[in-house]
Structure 1
Amino acid sequence: MALLSQREFRPELMDQIDILRGDHVRALQGLYRLNIVSGASRQLWRQIAAFCGVLPGGRLRVLDVACGGGDVAISIWRLARQQGIAVDIVGLDRSPTACEQAFHRCRAAGSAIKLVCADAIQSPLPSGFDVVMSSLFLHHLSRPDAVTLLARMGDAGRLLVVSDLRRSPVGYVVAHAACRLVTRSPIVRYDGPQSVANAFSVSEAAALCDEAGLSGAIVRRAWPWRLMITRQRE
């Protein structure tokens, strides 16, 4: 565990189908605070904004896979509005509790983000999007499921953007400390460090993209202790 030279994949508490609603809600609140601290939304937006420069006129259509409580989707919606870009966002998650929380947060933010409750691994993704994005979901999956997800995301839109954890000893220590600073949720406090152990390295993520048939995919390091996958389809 100390060196994390190999991926040590174990299911996280957040992924258990029998998780209590109250525990799940508190965990989503903790993740909301972690998302703010990490600045992941702005990293995703930089990739999307660059893509908008080559996008024909009209509204930008975005699919957020495994949207959780809707934090990233709302942030992207706000950033698009600040730059005068019309955007329609669909958030997809398999958890009814997460979709419910996302719905309320979207309404409170004044956004018209649409929520779809569906499993991205068990069911095909809706298609026809300009951008298909995902944040902090890839490490929740087994290797075969990660390949399936990437292939489906690549088929569903012109630009694929994935932000996820990058496995490293320093990232593990930081996750352990950060989760104790920002939340009292025992789920987040367990899942945070385990997420890093579950995460892929840059080279492993590149191999996933190759297996998923994502020609031209770029995998690089991102701050803090993350990796970013981008791929623009011709």
Structure 2
Amino acid sequence: MAARPSTAGIALRVVVPEVMDDPELDPVEHERALRALARVNRLSGTAGRIWREILRAARDDAPIRVMEVACGGGDVAVALAARARSSGLPLSLTATDRSERAVRSGRKRAERAGVAPDFVVGEAPDGLPQGPWDLVYASLFLHHLAEAEAQHFLTVLGRIARRVVVDDLRRTSMGLALATVAGHVLTRSPVVRVDGPRSVRAAFAPEEVEAMARRAGLRSVRVRRSWPQRWTLTADGSGP
């Protein structure tokens, strides 16, 4: 009988460039991959986790200013905008990505949903709109970065935002198995089938990201496990 995948961590990060990051990637395959990631995010409850943090950060009846970094196809931003509309929360939401194709995809998704986040092209972290922001969040992005880059990224977020939320994968054999299975069950995208396992191997462990966040000057740092094989970092920044 084969051994069951373990929830224990994989010891070392292995960072390999992901197919999605290739500027020469075929536009049709890029769009297929973005749709697949939207399904993964929906099943993982990403928007719900971010929404709860937005509610905690909201103050009185003033519009809450939120930015998503590396928004991909915009599925999380659109889901949040729809929740804000349904709940009556005054939300000013900007979603950024370095890919013009991804930003265009996000705008189309928002138009179909009847919501209007502001999608803009921006390179993280130094090319991001400076806000000020009540909350800045990033999902499935940190693992793309080298450790020094990741710490710089967290430092920048802490400088421009009052509240910081980062959601990413856990580097475990269970996470690796889930990424492999999801890539074959949820999509036919060859990009996702390659990039999913690569993303898990490149992910930071919760204790690694917690240490980076503290070195980056974030305050009230908390990293908790999230379903199915993710972690979520929440922290206070120094933004207004």
Give the TM-score range, shorter chain: over 0.9
Deviation of the 1:124 alpha carbon: 4.5
The reply to whether residue 5 of structure 1 matches residue 26 of structure 2 is no
The reply to whether residue 35 of structure 1 matches residue 41 of structure 2 is yes
Show CA shifts across 1:4-59 (max 9, x none).
Answer: 2111111111112221212111111111111111111101111221222xx13311
Q: Within 2, Cα distance between the matches of 1:215 and 1:43?
A: 20
Q: Partner of 1:49 in structure 2?
A: 55
Structure 2: tracts of 5 or more residues without a match: 1-5
Q: Within 2, Cα distance between the matches of 1:11 and 1:143?
A: 15
More deviation in 197-206 or 74-83?
74-83
Deviation of the 1:76 alpha carbon: 1.0
Q: Contact 1:125–1:153 (CA<8 Å) still a contact in 2?
A: no
Deviation of the 1:195 alpha carbon: 0.6
Residue type at the aligned position of 1:209: A
With normalisation by structure 1, the TM-score equals 0.94
Of the three residues 218, 223, 228, the one matched with 2:227 is 223
Q: Partner of 2:153 in structure 1?
A: 149
Of the three residues 97, 100, 109, the one matched with 1:96 is 100
Deviation of the 1:128 alpha carbon: 0.6
The reply to whether residue 74 of structure 1 matches residue 78 of structure 2 is yes
Paired-residue identity, %: 38
The reply to whether residue 135 of structure 1 matches residue 153 of structure 2 is no
Q: Contact 1:202–1:219 (CA<8 Å) still a contact in 2?
A: yes
Q: Within 2, Cα distance between the matches of 1:15 and 1:157?
A: 26
Q: Partner of 2:3 in structure 1?
A: none
Q: CA RMSD in A?
A: 1.5
Q: Contact 2:61–2:90 (CA<8 Å) still a contact in 1?
A: no
Q: Within 2, Cα distance between the matches of 1:83 and 1:107?
A: 19
The reply to whether residue 177 of structure 1 matches residue 181 of structure 2 is yes
Q: Partner of 1:61 in structure 2?
A: 65
Q: Contact 1:121–1:145 (CA<8 Å) still a contact in 2?
A: no
What is the total number of aligned residue pairs between the two structures?
231
More deviation in 115-124 or 26-35?
115-124
Q: Partner of 1:203 in structure 2?
A: 207
Cα distance change of structure 1 residues 5 and 213 upon mapping to structure 2, 3 Å threshold: same
Cα distance change of structure 1 residues 214 and 65 upon mapping to structure 2, 3 Å threshold: same
Secondary structure in structure 2 of the residue aligned to 1:228: strand
Q: Within 2, Cα distance between the matches of 1:56 and 1:44?
A: 19
Q: Partner of 1:188 in structure 2?
A: 192
Show CA shifts across 1:78-115 (max 9, x none).
Answer: 22222220111101000011001001111111111111
Q: Within 2, Cα distance between the matches of 1:155 and 1:11?
A: 28
Deviation of the 1:125 alpha carbon: 3.9
With normalisation by structure 2, the TM-score equals 0.91
Q: Partner of 1:23 in structure 2?
A: 29
